[in-house]
Amino acid sequence: MTNKDVLRQYQTYITNIIQPSCILPLVDFLTDHEDQIQTVEDQKGLTEAATLMMSLIYDLPETQGWFRMLLNGFSNAGYSTLAEAIESNDFADIEKAAVHKEVVRKLRVMLANQLKPLEILLYMPEVLLPSQRQRVERITELKGKVHGTHTLLDFLLRTDNPRWYTCFLDALRKGGYDQVVNVLDDQNGNASEQSGVDSKEEALEEMEISFSEEAGPSNLFASADAEKDGCQPTLNYDAPSSVALRNYQLELAEPALKGKNTIICAPTGSGKTMVAMEICRHHLEQSTEERGRKVVFLANTIPLCQQQMEMFQKYFENTDFGVTGHFGDDANPIAIRVSVETYEIIVMTPKLLEINLEDGTIPGLSTFTLIFFDECHHTMKNHAYNAIMKMYLDIKLGPEPTPLPQIVGLTASVGVGKSKNERDAREHIYQLCANLDTDTISTVRQNEEELSSHVFVPDKDTRIAKRRVANPFMDIVLELMARVESLANNTYNIDSLSKIPRSTRGSQCYEQWIVEVQRNCKVLRLDNEDEEKKVCRKLVTCAEHLRKYNDCLIISEDARVKDAFKYLQEHFDNLDPEFFDETDEKLVNYFQEKKAKLKNVANDNGTDNPKLSELQLVFEEQYRFKPETRTILFVRTRALAEAIKEWVLETPTLTHLRPKVLIGRRKTDKVEGMSLSNQKAALGAFQEGGSKLLIATSVADEGIDIASCNLVLLYDYVGNVIKMVQTRGRGRAKDSLCILITSNSESATKEQINIIHEKMMYDAIKSIQRIDHTHFLAKVNKMQTIMKKTHDIERQRAQTRSQETDLFVLLCGKCRKLACNSKDIRVIKNSHRVVINKDFIDLCNVTPHPKPKKYDDVEMKRKIACKDCNRDWGIMGSYLGLPELPLLKTEGFIFVNSRTQSRPRVNKWQDFPGVIEEFNILDMSSTAQGEGV
């Protein structure tokens, strides 16, 4: 690796730390460029100037000793820690400061309003460079203490001094700001404890995340990235950040700038986020003393929230408008309440906003004057977006309307739902407009030519691959599945347990049939209770094995037979014989009888997959003529993503692609989730060139923004029109290509239907835009009135259900063992159901949790399962100093009404028809004394 490669590797660290004007006098090879760099530093800021300086260094011819001179220049300018880190390839000290810097970023508005910077400067001589101290003093004198504090914080957030935070706290104490120190200490403690922990929203929603590449501070407004995002930046270090929108972006923003509720529908890569920030700035600037303005930006996922918060913070960093974010583990109600009172812009996930509105932490929607809904096409059915808008409609159509926030939705595709014609498509779009109380749909109509010159739509192609002529591996697995089905059927008529017909083995429909059978096993009733227990346990066990065999067939269809066998072998290796009954032993023996034959077939190269051969051909074609090609390969399942990665690494002509996998964070019963840091590492390697191939599941459908991606491959990956638009839009480079590879003619047909639906969608939008506006509003208002009545009826039914006081018994979902009853359960923060009966633990098999986590002040350390059959029951957590609290998951249990003996389906705790009391620590004291139920 050359010295310039070393600098490129650490570019983000360097550009986020150095002040070029302090270094330029110490390195003579940049003398000719001093004025240029200094001008950029004065007009656009330190990061822009540092980025320019590094790019010039890369372009300059190497002279003897230049690298040592640069490192000495860093050290002599005051950046000795950075210089040592580059030389030793060890950035541990610099990285440790990241948590502290994040805390200060979140609280900077509060700090700017409370601190007097000149009082603090007296006590921290070792942290700031002399020129930086002078800068803070000058800004404070010219513009006041708020601007001076912001300047001070900007320099602190760029320092490489590992002791900066300690020095900062000491300076605050000496300056008499003990209360501020306490706040910083509290926030830092929370950040340290919660770093790397799974989110509250994930636990509540259990949804796949979308991932968006995080634009680092060093290049957020760099010219290349600005061009990519559809904006032309004109930033000034001291002046408020602003951008000059293109004409098509101004057209998109126009209705919202006039205060109208708007859905902005524009292609991926057209710069919708920039449009949103300009709308936000314009909105906040209209604030008055009588009516202050406050904005909340909602994004569906934690990484998207993180990215949007950082973009907003950069955009508004030199204004009086503060930006903060709450998502993931940062869900403390007190912190959220303080942020809502203090900051003008808050970035949140919709579920977190919904929860805090429901519990009163946020007084109501009228707290905000503008709400952005990112990817607003999700505002349908039971999505959190729709739950928030139901609260909105309750106010709008209620007896005493109060001021409501302006609504702005952002999307690349409004979709058409299940429409069969343009009229149906219009009804679908009308429904979305009604859900978002939309006044207008904003699309580019006057400036289409300019839009098309900046946003590139990839060419689309389809490759039909042949199927295997023979697949002896599949034949053996099908035989095993037939035996398992026969065993189950001899016990009970399994087809009667599902309204979904038993479909072709090895299909997604068969998977749905299995899930339905498993759910109905839980509510199956037989006259003989002992017989019922035996039958249900056998059926559940058979269904579990059928599900694994079905997964195995899907993998063998899309990947290599050896990958399918490996998946199956891992399943049987992970079974614990300690919990086997007669059925378990029989099913394991079925597999063992065929194991050797399956292994032999799996190792036979004659079972190569024609679909993989087609994929290999596409790779070789594309990279032969364009070696710099970057590819995103979309696949249907996590297991398949890993299998294809192994295939690429083991194929000599493809190893140069150095593939990375991107999957969601949520753990499933098939594959462990991917940590946020690993997701970032995979995207980082792809973005920076270490990898030329990113293999992704639906996690990358929305939000991912990599301009250098010029090839999108859909590996039998077909969804609706929204999915097609989103996946196709991942390829944003000029002359990009999108190819569907399939061995299924139905998939190819479905993709053609999506193309028709896309045209239908745009035609429907144009039709709606042409109609009389009064007619449009009347249509939307009529739909909202019907929605409000339906919602009121649903709410009344829910209240009736919640008033039922019947006792419910919880039985193990597999072996029917009595676990507890509903009087034994309490709810913590409307999220966690905990058993307070101390005897319950004796019924559990307790094992270490592979990924301990903490949220809502509940720490989850171990897993709990039924001691008899090892059915997953939930997690053992600690709360308020209580170390042994069993937290239950609904999937582990059957719920029986003790009065009527009915067995309601409870797929999530919100479906539970009985009453569960709030947790009180005194309950634990009474059970410890033997007074509990």
3-state DSSP assignment of residue 903: coil
The pair of structure tokens assigned to 73 is 């220049």
Residue 827: burial class (beta carbons within 10 Å; 0-12, 13-18, 19+)? middle
Banded pLDDT at 5 (limits 50, 70, 90): confident
Interval 874-928: pLDDT, tens: 998 887 777 788 999 998 999 999 888 888 888 888 888 888 888 876 666 555 4
User: What pLDDT sits at residue 734?
Assistant: 67
Indicate the helix (H) or strand (E) that contains 351.
helix 350-358
Interval 297-313: pLDDT, tens: 999 877 788 878 888 99
What whole-number distance in Å separates Cα of residue 604 and Cα of residue 597?
11
Question: Please, are residues 309 and 346 in contact by the beta-carbon 8 Å criterion?
Answer: no
Choose from 136-140, 429-433, 669-673, 828-832 the range with maximum mean pLDDT: 429-433
* Domain 459-464+609-767 belongs in CATH node 3.40.50.300: yes
* Residue 137, CA distances (Å) to 108, 147, 167 in order: 18, 10, 19
Is there a common fold for 247-453 and 459-464+609-767?
Answer: yes
What whole-number distance in Å separates Cα of residue 824 and Cα of residue 235?
60
Q: Choose the weakest-confidence range: 278-287, 318-327, 558-567, 733-742.
A: 733-742
What percentage of the chain has pLDDT greater than the value 90? 30
The pair of structure tokens assigned to 257 is 């700038």
Residues 6 or more apart whose Cβ sits within 8 Å of residue 887: 832, 833, 834, 858, 860, 874, 875, 876, 877
The pair of structure tokens assigned to 746 is 């139905």
**What would the mean pLDDT of 98-102 be, rounded to a whole number?**
74
Question: Please, are residues 717 and 636 in contact by the beta-carbon 8 Å criterion?
Answer: yes
Phi, psi of 416 (to 5 degrees): -130, 5
pLDDT value at 207 more than 60: no
pTM over 0.85: no
User: What pLDDT sits at residue 708?
Assistant: 63
Interval 816-872: pLDDT, tens: 999 999 999 998 877 789 999 888 999 999 988 766 666 656 777 789 999 999 999
Banded pLDDT at 355 (limits 50, 70, 90): confident
pLDDT value at 261 more than 90: yes
What whole-number distance in Å separates Cα of residue 899 and Cα of residue 88?
71
User: What pLDDT sits at residue 404?
Assistant: 94
As a whole number, the mean pLDDT across the chain is 82
CB atoms within 10 A of CB 376: 24
Q: Choose the weakest-confidence range: 37-46, 229-238, 834-843, 895-904.
A: 229-238
What whole-number distance in Å separates Cα of residue 683 and Cα of residue 211?
9
Q: Name residue, tokens 């003093």.
A: 137
Q: Domain spanning 247-453: which superfamily?
A: P-loop containing nucleotide triphosphate hydrolases (3.40.50.300)
Banded pLDDT at 658 (limits 50, 70, 90): very high
pLDDT value at 683 more than 80: no
- The CATH classification of domain 3-89, taken from the options 1.10.533.10, 3.40.50.300, 1.10.10.10, 1.10.357.10: 1.10.533.10
Question: Please, what is the angle between helix 80-88 and helix 66-76, to 10°?
Answer: 140
User: What pLDDT sits at residue 381?
Assistant: 87
User: What pLDDT sits at residue 803?
Assistant: 58
In one-letter notation, the amino acid at residue 349 is T
Distance of CA 9 to the CA centre of its chain: 27
What whole-number distance in Å separates Cα of residue 622 and Cα of residue 305?
35
Identify the CATH number of the domain defined by range 472-603.
1.20.1320.30
User: What pLDDT sits at residue 886?
Assistant: 92
End-to-end CA distance of the chain: 68
What whole-number distance in Å separates Cα of residue 547 and Cα of residue 516?
12
**What would the mean pLDDT of 539-556 be, rounded to a whole number?**
91
Domain boundaries, the chain: 3-89, 93-186, 247-453, 459-464+609-767, 472-603, 808-927
User: What pLDDT sits at residue 731?
Assistant: 54
What whole-number distance in Å separates Cα of residue 769 and Cα of residue 764?
9
CATH class, range 808-927: mainly beta
**What would the mean pLDDT of 609-633 be, rounded to a whole number?**
90
**Measuring CA to CA, which residue among 198, 202, 191, 194 is closest to residue 351?**
202
In one-letter notation, the amino acid at residue 913 is P
Q: Would you identify the CATH topology of the domain 93-186? A: Death Domain, Fas (1.10.533)
Interval 61-74: pLDDT, tens: 888 888 889 998 88
Residues 6 or more apart whose Cβ sits within 8 Å of residue 81: 93, 94, 160, 161, 162
The more confident residue out of 23 and 184 is: 23
The more confident residue out of 758 and 656 is: 656
Q: Name residue, tokens 């407009």.
A: 433
